[in-house]
Structure 1
Amino acid sequence: MQTFKYFEQEGNTYKLKVQKGLFYTITFGCVAAIIAILFYSTSRATFLYVTFFALIGLLGILRTTGVIAFDQHNREIQRKRFFFSTPVSYSFDDFDHFLISKQKSYFITVSIQAIMVMRKGNKTRHILLAQTLFTAKPLQKLSEEISTVMGLPQH
């Protein structure tokens, strides 16, 4: 039996671990910004700033409740963005390719995203798998684990 770093296994279903540290850090940053704004802002737009950061913080917390599950037996991927959203199913056959996107600023890589590109009914869908800062190596390993779970040929 193979163990995976980025998945939790439940029978034939593999659930992608959520990046809770990243999302909680974003939420903590938003709370700190709200506190700073409330104490130091003299602008008339204080309410708008607080609302903006509260919304981003709430989305950060809600994102930790999302689930991406790979069911080997039924050969499908179940994706729920938040705990209250309806799940969307994709077949393993809908898979097109992985995309690792880097964003650079002044020669420094500041954000990297791993995305699964799916083609379902003449439409292209993107599933955000994970994000990192500065290096793409963890995302490459994640895409290799997903390839193993889905039974894709290794290059």
Structure 2
Amino acid sequence: MAKTFWISEPDTLTIYPARIARRLSIIYFIVFTALIAVLYTSKTLSNTNLVLTYEGLIILMSLLVYVMGERKVIFDAESRQLSTKLFGITTSTTPFDQIAAITPYDTMGAISYRAFSKSNRHGKGIILSCGYSKQNNPNLTAYEQEVLPRINELVFSNRPLHTKQVIYDFKFFNEENGIYKITHNKLSGLIFGVLLIALTVFILFHPDFMDDRASYKRILVTYFPAIIGLVLVNGFFSSVSFDKNNRQIIDTTLGGLIKKTYSFDDFIQFQIIRKSTNFIYTDTEVKALIDLPGQNKTKPLLVINFRRTRHIERFIDEANTILGLYEPAPVEIS
């Protein structure tokens, strides 16, 4: 049911991140009001004051959901501002020059695109789409193919060339013969993974373990640690490299047994995804969004994750330098 609406015009792009909420609010009001009416007429709920209280709460919740659906975000090329409006009233504005990036944001497993300002690059951002729980959602695919390029045209295309000093002292890459391999300390994950696998082996050598519990519980406790352990061990032997000579991004798993390559030309952008569990921040993933030629879809490739976000900008600067997206700053000759 996740769906984002947008209207693209010559000088403006209007996005309704949660317009479907208007329809849901009406459905919510009708269904629960009918339920209250049935309970009242059947004498299951006979207290009139209590019925009025419930109906008041239903109306209040319906209005709140409807208000969510009325929120819209406007990219205006003439004023070069991103503005958020509610019932025609502007609630916030952000100049295009202050927008750092448009990237996905992960909330409880649902991905929504957001605009992040330079002053709060890794904050919560401004919501620009509804939350998508599936990467292959048709509306998400259309959004990435139509809305993201339009935003790039309005916001970023007219900016002056972003120049940076060429980076020679890479902190997140090891270079060998033109291949830059991401360095990331995964030793703790390997150790923890091995311990989890060892736990499963230990349980298998003790057949009487939890023999007084339901079989599905014993199976879960026995094999779930091994599954998590294998994922962590595989993560240790997996890597992402940038082959500058052949202009390829190389994704290897299982110690190199499985290798996939993607062209630099198919790279779209980096996605910065903050992840949380039960509303508690866990880590931030950096993914490379890659266009898959001939397949009419994109693939987010996990490149690296960070617990602390202060290193992310440096990592992206290094990666963009390797990808050739930064022009070196001109050398001043005296």
Normalising by structure 2, what TM-score? 0.40
> How far apart, in 1, do the equivalents of 2:300 and 2:189 lie?
20
- Whether 1:92 aligns to 2:249 is no
Q: Secondary structure at the match of 1:93?
A: helix
Letter in 2 for 1:17: T
> How far apart, in 2, do the equivalents of 1:127 and 1:70 lie?
13
- Residues 58-93 of structure 1 show CA distances to partners (whole Å, capped at 9, x for unaligned) of 221121111212111111111112225431111110
Please name the residue that 1:130 is paired with.
Answer: 304
Please name the residue that 2:230 is paired with.
Answer: 58
Normalising by structure 1, what TM-score? 0.80
Please name the residue that 1:4 is paired with.
Answer: 170
Aligned pairs (5 A) from 1:5-24: 5-24=171-190
In the TM superposition, what is the alpha-carbon distance from 1:6 to its structure 2 partner? 1.0
Please name the residue that 2:193 is paired with.
Answer: 27
Kindly, what percent of the aligned residue pairs are identical?
25
Paired residue total = 153
Q: Is the 8 A contact 1:19 1:130 kept in 2?
A: no
> How far apart, in 2, do the equivalents of 1:106 and 1:61 lie?
26
Q: Is the 8 A contact 1:65 1:82 kept in 2?
A: yes
Please name the residue that 1:150 is paired with.
Answer: 323
Q: Is the 8 A contact 1:67 1:82 kept in 2?
A: no
In the TM superposition, what is the alpha-carbon distance from 1:3 to its structure 2 partner? 2.2
Letter in 1 for 2:244: Q
Letter in 1 for 2:301: I
Letter in 1 for 2:292: K
Distance 1:102-1:2 versus aligned 2 partners, 3 A rule: same
Q: Is the 8 A contact 1:130 1:139 kept in 2?
A: no
Q: Is the 8 A contact 1:147 1:153 kept in 2?
A: yes
In the TM superposition, what is the alpha-carbon distance from 1:22 to its structure 2 partner? 4.8
In the TM superposition, what is the alpha-carbon distance from 1:14 to its structure 2 partner? 0.6
Structure with max Cα Rg: 2
Q: Is the 8 A contact 2:197 2:230 kept in 1?
A: no
> How far apart, in 2, do the equivalents of 1:137 and 1:26 lie?
26
- Residues 83-113 of structure 1 show CA distances to partners (whole Å, capped at 9, x for unaligned) of 2543111111001011111124576422211
RMSD value over aligned CA atoms?
A: 2.8
> How far apart, in 2, do the equivalents of 1:125 and 1:70 lie?
17
> Where does the alignment leave 5 or more consecutive residues of structure 1 unmatched?
none
Q: Is the 8 A contact 1:117 1:126 kept in 2?
A: yes
> How far apart, in 1, do the equivalents of 2:188 and 2:313 lie?
18
Question: Which structure 1 residue ranges, 4+ long, deviate > 6 Å from structure 2?
Answer: none
